[in-house]
């Protein structure tokens, strides 16, 4: 049975489904379906909640947020590996931390050398600057577990 990968990233990153396809071609079961909501999904949710007169905290615990949150978490819980594709925002980093906190290996793929170094990426089991390097490591079975 193929290892399950949770591909984490930004709704605004067009490279997410492309990396998902590459991981699937390498034999992994990849969850990146969340990307299908579209790049404006969070903006539309915010606009809807503001129009209703709800605060951010109220919106976080509303029915729409519940459905999305628990759907995402269900797939994070089922996955064996996390891959964060940058650039990505705060939610993506929280998802990676959640999965690493469960003892699952988590990897980060940068799109370029960062302008400002950030030490906390050491929590990841691996940091890559080329998708091929991630794919080669995964294909070689050299998956680091925390």
- The answer to whether the bond into 135 is cis (omega within 30° of 0) is no
Q: Give the tens place of pLDDT for each residue, 17-62.
A: 999 999 999 999 999 999 999 999 999 999 999 999 999 999 999 9
Q: Quick count: other Cβ atoms within 10 Å of Cβ 138? A: 21
Report if residue 124 sits inside a domain.
yes
pLDDT at 145 over 60: no
Report if residue 35 sits inside a domain.
yes
Report if residue 49 sits inside a domain.
yes
Which pLDDT score, from 0 to 100, does residue 141 have? 78
The total domain count for the chain is: 1
Report if residue 32 sits inside a domain.
yes
| Orientation angle between helical segments 63-78 and 90-101, nearest 10 degrees | 50
- Give the CATH number, domain containing residue 124: 3.40.50.450
Q: pTM value?
A: 0.94
Report if residue 126 sits inside a domain.
yes
Alpha-carbon gap, residue 31 to 95, rounded angstroms: 13
CB 84 within 8 A of CB 109: yes
Question: Cα angle at 42 between 39 and 46, to 5 degrees?
Answer: 140
Residue-range definition of the domain harbouring residue 106: 4-139
Report if residue 91 sits inside a domain.
yes
pLDDT at 146 over 90: no
Sign of CA dihedral 111, 113, 116, 120: positive
Report if residue 144 sits inside a domain.
no
Report if residue 56 sits inside a domain.
yes
Q: Give the tens place of pLDDT for each residue, 89-143.
A: 999 999 999 999 999 999 999 999 999 999 999 999 999 999 999 999 999 877 7
Alpha-carbon gap, residue 24 to 7, rounded angstroms: 11
């Amino acid at each position: 049975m193929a290892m399950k990968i949770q591909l984490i990233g930004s709704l605004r990153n067009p490279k997410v489904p492309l990396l998902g396809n590459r991981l699937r071609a390498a034999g992994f079961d990849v969850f990146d379906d969340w990307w299908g909501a579209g790049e404006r999904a969070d903006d539309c949710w915010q606009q809807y909640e503001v129009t209703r007169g709800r605060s951010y905290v109220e919106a976080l615990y509303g029915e729409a947020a519940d459905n999305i949150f628990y759907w995402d978490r269900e797939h994070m819980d089922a996955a064996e590996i996390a891959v964060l594709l940058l650039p990505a925002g705060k939610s993506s980093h929280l998802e990676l931390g959640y999965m690493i906190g469960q003892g699952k290996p988590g990897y980060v793929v940068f799109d370029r050398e960062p302008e400002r170094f950030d030490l906390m990426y050491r929590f990841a089991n691996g940091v890559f600057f080329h998708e091929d390097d991630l794919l080669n490591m995964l294909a070689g079975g050299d998956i680091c577990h925390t």
